[in-house]
Structure 1
């Protein structure tokens, strides 16, 4: 397994864990009635910002750990340059990410038009970005596994 594939897998794991924890916590808060207060959107905004910051920090730590473990176990150093194939795979993953987030944006606009509460709409946005990231990373992983 190449260095790039290991990095993609670490991003997938991090994304799934962070998003799952966020959705679980938000669901528990929703059941507790914390979104009935006047400051519910402030609370929701803070929760999303905490999720984003923790996701970035954990991704950085995971990438460093993957580099260290790959260097120790497989005697594999991080490639200095990415070749054309790596860039093509990354662009294809970005394309899938954009498709998914675009579809999620349209879905949230439909939800707003149908008078869905803002709590659910914001969580749809978060879910669309998360699923877009998963789809982009899975696409890259598939392309690396396919080999061309």
Structure 2
């Protein structure tokens, strides 16, 4: 397996673990008030902001640990350059990831149009962000395995 394939697998697993553990952490903190209470909006706003920060920091730390472990086990350095294939795969992964997020964003805004609770908008946005992260990692893994 190449460095890029291993990195994609680690990114996929870490995204799932980070999102799952954060959701398990935040679930007990859900407010008991009504659907439209200010506390509910505060909860979902903090959920999105904290998840963003935690996800970024955790991905950075996991990337550093992965590079250290990779170097210790294989005695190779990580590739310092991206060739045309790497750039093309990265662009395809970003395209698919952005496409999934934009569809999720449009669905979230559509949920407000059809008079769904505002919580539904937050849930759809959070889920589409998670799915887009997973989609990017899966796309990279797929193209490194099967080619472009």
Q: Do they superpose with TM above 0.5?
A: yes
CA distance in 1, matches of 2:25, 2:69: 32
Name whichever of 18-27 and 137-146 sits farther off: 18-27
Output the CA distance in 1 between the equivalents of 2:89 and 2:34: 41
TM-score, with structure 1 as normaliser: 0.88
TM superposition shift of 1:26: 4.8
Residue 38 of structure 2 aligns to a residue whose secondary structure is coil
Q: Identify if the C-alpha distance between structure 1 residues 114 and 26 changes in structure 2 by more than 3 Å, giving closer, same or farther.
A: farther
Contact 1:101-1:132 at 8 Å conserved across structures: yes
| Other-structure match for 1:18 | 18
For residue 33 of structure 1, what is the aligned residue in structure 2? 32
Q: Distance in 2 between matches of 1:21 and 1:62?
A: 15
Return 5+ residue gaps in structure 2 as ranges.
none
Task: Describe how 1:108-119 pairs up with structure 2 within 5 A.
Answer: 108-119=108-119
Runs of 4+ in 1 over 6 A off after TM superposition: none
Note the alpha carbon deviations across 1:59-106, whole angstroms, 9 max, x for none: 011111111111111112111101110000000001101110111112
TM-score of the aligned structures, taking structure 2 as reference length: 0.88
Figure out how many residues of one structure are paired with residues of the other and give that number. 147
**Distance in 1 of aligned mates of 2:90 and 2:46:** 31
